[in-house]
Amino acid sequence: MTSAPQTPVYLNGQSNEVIVSTSPASGRKLGEVRVTPLSELPSIMQRAREAQKAWFEAGLAFRLEVLRRWQENLRRDFDRIVGMVVAEQGRPPFEALTEFLTAIELIAYYRRSARRALAPKRHFILLDPHHQHWTVRQPYGVVLSITPWNFPILLSVAPLVAALVTGNAVIWKPSEYSTQVAELLARTLRGSGIPEGVFQLVHGTGEVGAALIAQQPDKICFTGSTATGRKVAAAAGERLIPVTLELGAKDAALVLEDADLDRAAHGIVWGALFNAGQACLSIERLYVMRAVAEPLIQKMAAVIEKFVTVGDGVAPRVTMGALTTQAQLEIVDRQVREALASGARLICGGKVLEGHNGRAYAPTILTDVTPEMRLMREETFGPVLAVVPIDRPEEGVEAINALGCGLTCSVWTRNRARGLALMERIEVGHASLNDHIITASVPQVPWGGVKNSGYGRSRGVEGLYDMTYAKVYSAERFAPLPRELFWYPYTPFKYNLLRRFINVYYATTWRERLAALFGR
């Protein structure tokens, strides 16, 4: 194992501490940010609370105009932002572009849809016709957003835009490994005329994240590992703060005998290696019908050979970047070594590559793996695909469901009905036929997982609902009656009237209804 320097993080509670950002694939220093001292957090929360009220009261039209300017600023800063993702993560620009595209489309989508999604919903109640009831979406107040480093544009923009458009103030703590991208995004938002205090950026490690939760925000949106998610959920539960968790996974693909193997080989290699496998939705496990397992493995190895060039994303022709953190590289390498020592068969890769600051890992395919191996139980978060031949598709479904997490899955077959039936039985937030990752780039649909992959939903209309609570208003439709039906006095007449109503109105056949209406 090459020991490359970790992105340096200096933190010991001093106000002059900084986080230095370096390029993973070259070690080049990119910049530094000041760590927010813990002593400043109470005033940051106070500022957010004060600013939020005016932000909400300014109305949706005002907020949408700020979002329009933010969209414009982001678009103008496209090259700089994409360039920084490439530098800070070592990713190829094309991958940074796709993330940018989804993020800007999400803003555009909310600008198009928020008015309708957030409009009051009116209800007519038969027993209460002289009252109007309507449900509105009320912002929680101050939203704390804690984000990871692996998709530093999309996963930052998504909670920000949903929280802001619905009228919340946001305190954002990005990952300590993507501070420079965060600074650029924050600059575009500040430049959109967002009022002081409505959006605040806080830098630091998990210590700062935990201290922010202790400031009692009104809602927490957390994206990160399952282990940290548990801590966040526990801290939020202690304080009864609603929380949305987007956590880790160990997602799978299921390939049937009738699949288009060329398409499957291309799609699965891409689904496993996109962002060097540092994606919550990466394909890490592949269950494939035994009859087509070897041909598929050979085709996938050929796709890697032909299309995957590993290196620093800034270099032309590189299609897979280095791993962003040294710690992650070590986890990936350890899982692969352990699997090989326990009898797994290496098809390709399986090693740290020379150069690239010691951070590049070869695209890896393994087979002859067993469920006991750590590689098959824990998130790898690297460019590694484990292939398991199966004799029945149901075996694949059972193995996928057995793991206790579920974000995405894909089924590959030419038989649409069979594929959809299998997808119905796989316990995940997102299931795709003959494709993977696709729903993550569609901001119109909700995003999120089940079981250990988290709860709550971002994006789509559900993402707006997630940042708000339902508040119900009720008011007289006409001049108020002197007294309401359900108030005192409780008379036999009112009792019998309501009894008759229940029998007539809730009868489930016309025969019963007529009997109730004309009977005693």
Contact region with ligand NAD (CB under 6 A), list: 68-76, 85-93, 204-212, 299-307: 204-212
Q: Does 463 bind ligand NAD (CB under 6 A)?
A: no
DSSP 8-state assignment for residue 193? T
Closest CB 104 distance from ligand NAD, rounded Å:
18
Interface mask (CB under 6 A) for ligand NAD, residues 174-193, using x and -?
A: -xx-----------------
Q: Which of 32, 88, 221, 280 is catalytic?
A: 280
Q: Give catalytic status of residue 354 as yes or no.
A: no
Q: Does 88 bind ligand NAD (CB under 6 A)?
A: no
Which residues have a Cβ under 8 Å from the Cβ of 241 and sit 6 or more positions away? 213, 216, 217, 218, 219, 220
Q: How many binding residues for ligand NAD (CB under 6 A)?
A: 31
Which residues have a Cβ under 8 Å from the Cβ of 115 and sit 6 or more positions away? 60, 64
454-455, strands of its sheet edge to edge: 199-201, 169-173, 142-146, 219-223, 243-246, 454-455
Tokens, residue 78:
């496209």
Q: Does 98 bind ligand NAD (CB under 6 A)?
A: no
Which residue, 185 or 280, has its beta carbon nearer to ligand NAD? 280
Closest CB 159 distance from ligand NAD, rounded Å:
11
How many whole angstroms separate alpha carbon 476 and alpha carbon 493? 24
Q: Does 456 bind ligand NAD (CB under 6 A)?
A: no
Contact region with ligand NAD (CB under 6 A), list: 73-81, 141-149, 190-198, 511-519: 141-149
Is there a contact between 144 and 160 (Cβ–Cβ < 8 Å)? no
Q: Does 460 bind ligand NAD (CB under 6 A)?
A: no
Q: Give catalytic status of residue 221 as yes or no.
A: no
Nearest to 445 by CA among 96, 109, 74: 109
Helix 492-505 with 510-518: angle, nearest 10 deg = 160
Q: Does 113 bind ligand NAD (CB under 6 A)?
A: no
Q: Does 206 bind ligand NAD (CB under 6 A)?
A: yes
Q: Which position among 90, 139, 248, 443 is part of the footprint of ligand NAD (CB under 6 A)?
A: 248
Among positions 276-315, residues that touch ligand NAD (CB under 6 A) are 280
Give, in order, the Cα–Cα distances in Å from 124 to each of 129, 430, 441, 482: 7, 35, 38, 21
Closest CB 344 distance from ligand NAD, rounded Å:
22
Q: Which position among 18, 186, 210, 340 is part of the footprint of ligand NAD (CB under 6 A)?
A: 210
Tokens, residue 97:
């572009």
Q: Does 228 bind ligand NAD (CB under 6 A)?
A: yes
Q: Does 155 bind ligand NAD (CB under 6 A)?
A: yes
Give, in order, the Cα–Cα distances in Å from 317 to each of 91, 229, 244, 353, 451: 12, 37, 38, 17, 39
Nearest to 221 by CA among 165, 158, 265: 158
How many whole angstroms separate alpha carbon 240 and alpha carbon 237? 5
Which residue, 162 or 264, has its beta carbon nearer to ligand NAD? 162
For ligand NAD, the binding residues (CB under 6 A) are 146-151, 155, 173, 175-176, 205-206, 209-210, 223-225, 228, 231-232, 246-249, 280, 379, 381, 407, 449, 453-454
Catalytic residues: 246, 280
